[in-house]
Amino acid sequence: MKKLFFLLAFGIGLAVLAQTAAKPKTQKEPVGDTEINADRFDFIAENPLTNGLMITTNGLLIYTGHVLVENLRAKVLCDRLVVYLPKNGEEPNRIEAQTNVVIVAVNNGETTRATCSLAVYTRTVQAGATNSIVTLTGNPLPYFENAKGSATAAHIEWNLITGNYNASGNLRMNIKQSVMEGSGTNKSPIKLF
Amino acid sequence: MKFLAVILVVAGAALLLRGADDRAVPGLPANVKDMRTTEFTSEQYYEAPNEQQIKLRFSGASAITLPGGLQEIRQVRIEMFYTNGSTRAVAETPKCELQPFDGVASSAGRLVLQSGDGKIHIEGDGFLWRQDPVTLTISNNVRTVVKLGTNSLFKL
């Protein structure tokens, strides 16, 4: 079985770009203002190229070079950050962190670190329900770790609404022994992350 | 693409012909040595069916014609609007050079951009602005502050 569902408590930092839209149950600490620093900024207000993506956009915000996104809960570093602006000034429905992506997030006192070459936040609304997902992909394989262990997989998908993770493809996990030792028969099932 | 740009010289605009400088300005009549305009405003409208709505307003406190047809604009303010008339974003810079017929403005100076709702603040050094299609590049030291705790993020 190549797909595993995790009920995960950590928050990967790209969510800072979508916190107000998603409001996942596990993120209740104050966020503060989010600051983005970069070498260069491009605002393409109309008719932007979307690399074949079937999305309607009202423009792009592109940060390039030593991009650092930071707030009280998370840091995201990458070479390029692209925000797809939807029509009518609504919430962004797609944000991409591209190349050398490093995400460090603190949630409930636990620090999580993730790396990948492409992290994509997407937000869709279907039948009145909002679905917000962060997908980590690329080469080298996405990697994440926290106090309980680490894992790599070709495709890691985090549902910000439900808090579920779906990891697939070349999945490899390392669980720290201390976590295993604490899981006797009378204990609750292990939550890896 | 239907494009409408109107240059308004607002009431009170002063056209100063300075005789002290004998250098003629290319693109202007030979007897015109310098031309300065105050309250410079250029507006661009949306295409139909929103052709009555202002899409972009480029304004400045003064404009000086430079050699080569360039205009040096002081106290520059670039406003973008949604089709419903609400402000999308406002950019301000102390000074820039405008190529009026190409719709290109640039400066090595600092540019500050604020979203219409005031929740996004972007600033940096050196910029290039193109009017059609609208693009803005800030080339150095870009800093953005997004105010969270609201229901909007990157609303630009």
The secondary structure of B70-84 as a DSSP string is -EEEEEEEEEEE-TT
pLDDT at B33: 56
pLDDT at A26: 45
pLDDT at B69: 83
pLDDT at B38: 82
* Domain at A120, CATH number: 2.60.450.10
pLDDT band, very low/low/confident/very high, at A31 (cuts 50, 70, 90) = low
Q: Quote the ipTM score.
A: 0.73
pLDDT at B132: 80
**Cβ of residue A44 closer than 8 Å to a chain B Cβ:** yes
Provide the Cα torsion B101, B103, B108, B111; round to 10°: 150
Q: Determine, yes or no, domain membership for A159.
A: yes
E strands of chain B, at which residues? 5-9, 36-45, 54-65, 71-81, 87-99, 104-115, 120-131, 134-146
Rg for chain A, CA atoms, rounded: 17
The structure tokens 């492409």 sit at A118
Full domain range(s) for residue A91: 2-181
pLDDT at B90: 95
Which residues in A lie closer than 8 A to residue B135 (C-beta atoms)? 42-45
Q: Determine, yes or no, domain membership for A191.
A: no
Query: With an 8 Å Cβ cutoff, are A40 and B133 in contact?
Result: no
Query: With an 8 Å Cβ cutoff, are B136 and A43 in contact?
Result: yes
Among the partner-chain residues B151, B152, B156, the one whose CB lies closest to the CB of A61 is B156
Q: Which architecture, in CATH terms, is B2-155?
A: Sandwich (2.60)
Query: With an 8 Å Cβ cutoff, are A17 and B151 in contact?
Result: no
A3-7, A38-42, A65-69: least confident range: A3-7
| Residues in chain B whose Cβ is within 8 Å of chain A | 80, 82, 86, 88, 113, 116, 122, 124, 133-156
- Helix extents (H) in A9-148: 19-22
Instruction: Please determine, for residue A28, whether its predicted confidence score (pLDDT) is greater than 90.
Output: no
pLDDT band, very low/low/confident/very high, at B6 (cuts 50, 70, 90) = very low
pLDDT band, very low/low/confident/very high, at A2 (cuts 50, 70, 90) = very low
User: Over the stretch B30-87, which tens digit does the pLDDT of each residue have?
Assistant: 555 566 778 888 898 998 999 999 999 999 999 898 888 899 999 999 999 988 899 9
pLDDT at B11: 32
Count A/B contacts: CB-CB distance under 8 Å.
99
pTM of the predicted model as reported, rounded to 2 decimal places: 0.76
Share above pLDDT 90 across residues of chain B, in percent, rounded to a whole number: 42
Which of A34, A42, A43, A58 to mutate against chain B (most B CBs within 10 Å)?
A43
Tell me the average pLDDT of chain A.
76
Query: With an 8 Å Cβ cutoff, are A33 and B146 in contact?
Result: yes
Query: With an 8 Å Cβ cutoff, are B148 and A63 in contact?
Result: no
Highest mean pLDDT pick, A53-57, A109-113, B51-55:
B51-55
pLDDT at B1: 40
Share above pLDDT 70 across residues of chain A, in percent, rounded to a whole number: 68
Give me the residue spans of the domains in chain B. 2-155
Neighbours of A113 (CB within 10 A): 17
pLDDT at A1: 37
Query: With an 8 Å Cβ cutoff, are A40 and B148 in contact?
Result: no
The number of domains in chain A is 1
Query: With an 8 Å Cβ cutoff, are A20 and B122 in contact?
Result: no
Q: Determine, yes or no, domain membership for A192.
A: no
User: Over the stretch B89-144, which tens digit does the pLDDT of each residue have?
Assistant: 999 999 999 998 888 999 999 999 998 888 889 999 999 999 888 899 999 999 99
